Amino acid sequence: MPDRRSDLAWRPVLAEYTGTMLLVAAVVGSGVMAATLSPDDVGLQLLENSVATTFALGALILIFGPVSGAHLNPVVSIADWFLGRRTRTGLTARALAGYVVAQTAGAITGSILANLMFALPAVEMSRTDRAAGHLWLGETVATAGLVLLIFALVRSGRPGIAPAAVGAYIGAAYWFTSSTSFANPAVTIGRAFTDTFAGITPASVPGFVLAQLGGLLVGVALIHALYPAPHPAALITVRTPTTGTDRRTSVS
């Protein structure tokens, strides 16, 4: 059967752009709303922000999963490309490049959209400093756990529960990691474009992205150790209404 995303079709790229845009709009917009509704309680602000993000992420995976896999995250796309190289079931290098560009552009657009929805300047670079070793460790842990979860589900033939599982993990990681679990290079870049509750200063972005790439390496190593071969159910091909071609079912 053909590779599930053998070429850089415009539908998956549009899905990744739109999905990441809406994800960042949800993260930033709910942060602004939380700061407005609970100005004197940072803990409640984080709760409101994390709950909104959890539900939004689950919904977005349901919407865009059948079109692009709903990666919405460069580390997920890189892992998909790397883990699928031998079986030719992952992204091609060309498609990977398109996904990463679309995700990053979508994240920046999402911040701008959220800013405009709340009558803020369209672009206002964040002044929230998040540069510290313990925060980078938090990002490494958060990203490794996310990669491990997603590809454990895929390789064990359980992609159908990904919307709930991934949303739940990110919601929990808001609270058990010191960094509040960005776990996404594109989202990290996008959040630099808003000086709100969810923002991160541009100077802090490289440290977070490097930590996330470190988490990617840890997550992929754990997948190789724990799930060395995909479950047969993970290799089933289906006819998709979006392209009319066969592609392996997947959620990531």
pLDDT at 249 over 70: no
pLDDT at 230: 79
For residue 204, pLDDT beyond 90: yes
181 pLDDT above the threshold of 70 = yes
Task: State the pLDDT confidence band at 89, using cuts at 50, 70 and 90.
Answer: confident
- pLDDT at 248 > cutoff 50: no
66: nearest Cα among 244, 235, 241, 245:
241
What average pLDDT does range 175-204 have in this prediction? 97
Report the candidate in 172, 149, 146 with the shortest Cα–Cα distance to residue 159: 149
Task: Say which CATH class 10-248 falls into.
Answer: mainly alpha
Mean of pLDDT values over 27-42? 96
d(CA 98, CA 96): 5
% of the chain surpassing 90 pLDDT = 84
Rg of the chain taking only CA atoms, in angstroms: 17
Helix (H) / strand (E) element for 11: namely helix 10-37
Q: Where are the domains of the chain?
A: 10-248
> Where residue 1 falls among pLDDT bands split at 50, 70, 90?
very low
Do you know the residue count of the chain?
252
- Whether 87 shows a pLDDT value over 90: the answer reads no
Averaged pLDDT for residues 125-138: 97
Q: Three-state SS string across 141-198, please?
A: HHHHHHHHHHHHHHHCCCHHHHHHHHHHHHHHHHHHCCCCCCCCHHHHHHHCCCCCCC
* Residue 228 DSSP one-character state: S
Whether 208 shows a pLDDT value over 50: the answer reads: yes
CB 124 within 8 A of CB 115: yes
2 has a pLDDT exceeding 80: no
DSSP state of 52: H
Q: How confident is the model at residue 233 (pLDDT cuts 50, 70, 90)?
A: low
